Structure 1
Amino acid sequence: PLFYVLSVNFWGFDQFVLDLGRGLGFSGLRLVKHWVLSFEYSVFTFPFLIGIVLAYGKNGLKFFSVSLSLLIGVSIFYTLDTFYPEGTLKPLELLALPTAACAAALLDSMGYSFVFQYIPGPKAMPIITLNGVYRIGIAWPCAGVHSLFLYLIIISLLFKKSSISNFRKLIYFIIGVVGTYFVNILRIASYFVILKNDGISAAEFFHRTTGELYFFFWIFAYILLIIVVERFTLVERIRLYVKKIFTIFRKGKKV
């Protein structure tokens, strides 16, 4: 990464990256933003992977599996969005439709005035028009489809290392999927709330920065919750307390 930063700032490597993107057929915002971002994620991923292998060997891959999964996963999804923009990657875009619809329902319950539409076609995506002014297309990365896949990877790695029973793993998994899905809905709704109150610049800033952190805050908080529940046997304690309450209640009825 250090070599890349130096080469971009002092040796003109950024121009090489742009020329490479033009050679691949990118132009405009797709070139200067999406292509560059996906390229940089890939550049940062490989040195991190190589450094772990050189420093810790194969054991390092297991120890840093969650970090690697996040970095590699984000790199792959940014690259997919770069090469297949604006709803052209249909399998993932179809997953965005129900998420956008749920976000629209949440906005409706909050009293916001908007139009929600989805017109099938080669580049079809859900569109929310707010107050007849802001017409925003919701592509699959914006709907957080990639976060569902990242969740699957991370939770699978966590369960693989744990001795949690299969039944509890299933319960944790289902709760996590629902939580991740709701976080995606909340992120879309938050974007339109900011758009309504603070304008397009603030909404785009949220989309590029704070909004991306929603999933990471959620997944780390959820993993911490699982660890705390298992570490302090909270499920067993709750069962014991409930059992005691029922026992006291039954004794009281007999008296």
Structure 2
Amino acid sequence: MQNWNLIFGIIIISSPILFAMIAFPDSISWSWNEGRGGYLFALVFVVAELLGLKIVISKKRLLVVIPMAIITISYLISLEYGLRDYIIESAEQFGVQLIYSWTWMWDFVVMAIFIVVALHIFFGTRWIRIAPAGPIFLTGTAIILSLDAFFPYDTLGPLQYVVPYFIQANVWLITVLDLGTAVAKDNVMFLRGEHGSIALQVFWPSAGVHSIIIFSLVIGAFMLKLNIPRNRKAMYFVLGIIGTIIVNLIRIFSLSWYALKVTTDPAAWEEFHQIAGEIMFLPWLFAFILVVILIESRRLKKLESKGQNHT
């Protein structure tokens, strides 16, 4: 029997994101700080975690959330009629350095608040264990955007600290593979390849440090849901962080390869740079979660079969 109230609940909670995708498709950019591409992945998290639940949501709770969804949609619409200009103007009052990160930050803040409140109305405090990944992804993205807005480039020392090590590893790999000439100095790479020379200055977002933070938050939430021993949770968490670091190294390498082998034209390179990170990180995040689920499902079946054999 279909849990229709749950399905309606999923539709209601998804409606603002679906509206943004349909009404403002140009805003769904895959660059993490230039659009609402993260909305889509948050939506996937929410739907994946809610589908199949046996919990029945009362009609009263559904009706309470509908006006909230309408208010959130109204926020998205109002951005096109002056609200975005007001947000941009307010940036100066708060000492914001990067305007676009500031404006997109509020989109993620509003959506995170809506989904958290909606889930709380649907499930009470249990929502933290039922469907935490989507809200945490949105909140994490908002936090990263705020850091980028207030502390751009290399002004946030702790996050920038690891960047030179990433660059050194990348230069070593380019040299070993004989792809061209690569020299590193602090957070700058000097590359010379088939299409000329280019200097790339790498800051913590471009190095993928933000993805490590978001991965930690999402996987931390995911581990809360898993009923497995703590040592296995810790193992998956550490392996996930290591994997994310490797993905980020591949990201930097791919950007370097593009400059060495494809083009040194700044505009063309920037287009590739805008999408390269999210194309790699987000599939990796979903793939990692899927692999963990498959491994633990098989392990649970083996434990159950052993228990039946003993009885």
TM over 0.5: yes
Alpha carbons 2:129, 2:224 under 8 Å: kept: no
Which consecutive unaligned segments of at least 5 residues does structure 2 have? Answer: 1-71, 304-311
Matches within 5 A, 1:116-131: 116-118=184-186, 126-131=187-192
Distance across 2 between alignment mates of 1:46 and 1:209 = 27
Q: Which residue of 2 aligns with 1:20?
A: 90
Distance across 1 between alignment mates of 2:289 and 2:104 = 28
Distance across 2 between alignment mates of 1:64 and 1:138 = 35
Shift of 1:47: 2.1
Alpha carbons 1:49, 1:68 under 8 Å: kept: yes
Which consecutive unaligned segments of at least 5 residues does structure 1 have? Answer: 119-125, 238-255
- Given the alignment, which residue of 160, 168, 182 partners 1:114? 182
Alpha carbons 1:194, 1:202 under 8 Å: kept: no
Distance across 1 between alignment mates of 2:96 and 2:220 = 36
Matches within 5 A, 1:41-80: 41-80=108-147
Larger RCO (alpha carbons 8 Å, 6+ apart): 2
Give the SS at the match of 1:44: helix
- The change in CA–CA distance for 1:41 and 1:166 in structure 2 (over 3 A counts) is closer
Distance across 2 between alignment mates of 1:75 and 1:150 = 10
Alpha carbons 1:96, 1:143 under 8 Å: kept: yes
Deviations 1:189-246 (A, max 9, x none): 1122223314333332233234223222112111111111121239x79xxxxxxxxx
Give the SS at the match of 2:206: coil
Q: Which moved more, 1:166-175 or 1:91-100?
A: 166-175
Deviations 1:131-170 (A, max 9, x none): 2742221111111112222222233323332232344334
- Given the alignment, which residue of 117, 120, 142 partners 2:206? 142
Matches within 5 A, 1:86-105: 86-105=153-172
Deviations 1:90-126 (A, max 9, x none): 11110222222222222323323222111xxxxxxx1
Distance across 2 between alignment mates of 1:104 and 1:39 = 37
Distance across 1 between alignment mates of 2:217 and 2:185 = 32
Alpha carbons 1:195, 1:202 under 8 Å: kept: no
Number of equivalences: 226
Q: Which residue of 1 aligns with 2:256?
A: 192
- Given the alignment, which residue of 78, 97, 105 partners 1:7? 78
Q: How well do the aligned residues superpose, as a CA RMSD in angstroms?
A: 2.5
**Which protein has the larger Cα radius of gyration, Structure 1 or Structure 2?**
1
Alpha carbons 1:192, 1:203 under 8 Å: kept: no
Alpha carbons 2:251, 2:276 under 8 Å: kept: no
Amino acid across the alignment from 1:12: G
After TM superposition, the score normalised by the length of structure 2 is 0.65
State the identity %. Answer: 26
Distance across 2 between alignment mates of 1:73 and 1:41 = 9
